[in-house]
Amino acid sequence: MLNTFWKYLEFEKRYSRHTLASYQNDINQFVRFLESQYQVHNLLKAEHRHIRAWIVALMQEQINPKSINRKIISLRTFYKFAISREGIKQNPTQKIKALKTSKELPQFVQEKEMDNLLSIIEFADDFEGSRDALIMELLYGTGIRLSELLGLKYSDFNMQAKTIRVLGKGNKERIIPFHNKILSRLNSYISHKNKTFSGNGNIALIVSNNGNEAYPMMINRITKKYLNQVTTISKTSPHILRHTFATHLLNKGADLNAVKDLLGHSSLAATQVYTHNSLDKLKKVFDQAHPKA
């Protein structure tokens, strides 16, 4: 049953490897809980009380509420699949409610700090340096997700139109414009890549030092390495550059719907979180400039 579900997520829902791994981890964790605590060895035999007990156990372990909610979503998706494919009549997740979570504003890198990173810091004039520079430019200059970066191919770039074709969540395609600095970084990287890995058949755009496909941990290390040189924010993941991209656009007066489309959000609500950061800046401008403030 689980193997069929994994294939459904991978081939029908077109989930990324990272998302698929998260679902597998969540559900396998619940399977182990069922077996150890209730000697239930079949997911289809799980009851509402079992799931509720698992959530309580996770809370006692002080697991982040957002992580617990993700695990709940994983189970809900599985049981909805089981109802449609296996014909089970009751969904044990039906009365399970998501935990309340505090609304944290997304962290982002200040504009001056990003200018320092991309203008002052010198990237080595070799394969590794040109690759790292391109990664930082792409993440900040287009706001793409980590999974989208890893899925890029050279053929996704339209050099004349200066656009990138990106395959996002749910296999949805979108077109994102890019600026001249990215074009320059891309040309430099491709030149170094071809010299370093002559005849390499890997079609992935971003590759590791040995020519294999890049992987999430590698990109995380690269963003941490360079962001730590210019900022003191606690989070230095690739996603921070996505937050930075959106916040800086809105600070410069970009239309919220346009930012939504650039980010590939399915609803405006997901994009509106960035308006809080922009609103803080507007309030400061108002306090400093308005004669009655």
User: Could you give the residue numbers annotated as active site?
Assistant: 145, 169, 239, 242, 265, 274
Helix (H) or strand (E) holding 157: strand 157-158
The closest of 219, 244, 237, 242 to 114, measured between CA atoms, is 244
The closest of 131, 166, 170 to 149, measured between CA atoms, is 166
- List beta partners, residue 153: 204
State the DSSP code for 177. Answer: E
Task: With beta carbons less than 8 A apart as the criterion, state whether 157 and 186 touch.
Answer: yes
Structure tokens at 59: 């809370």
The residues near 29 (Cβ < 8 Å, ≥ 6 apart) are 71
Task: With beta carbons less than 8 A apart as the criterion, state whether 71 and 29 touch.
Answer: yes
- List beta partners, residue 174: 166
State the DSSP code for 207. Answer: B
State the DSSP code for 104. Answer: P
Task: With beta carbons less than 8 A apart as the criterion, state whether 144 and 176 touch.
Answer: yes
- List beta partners, residue 132: none
SS3 content of the chain, % helix, strand, coil (to 5): 60, 5, 35
State the DSSP code for 271. Answer: H
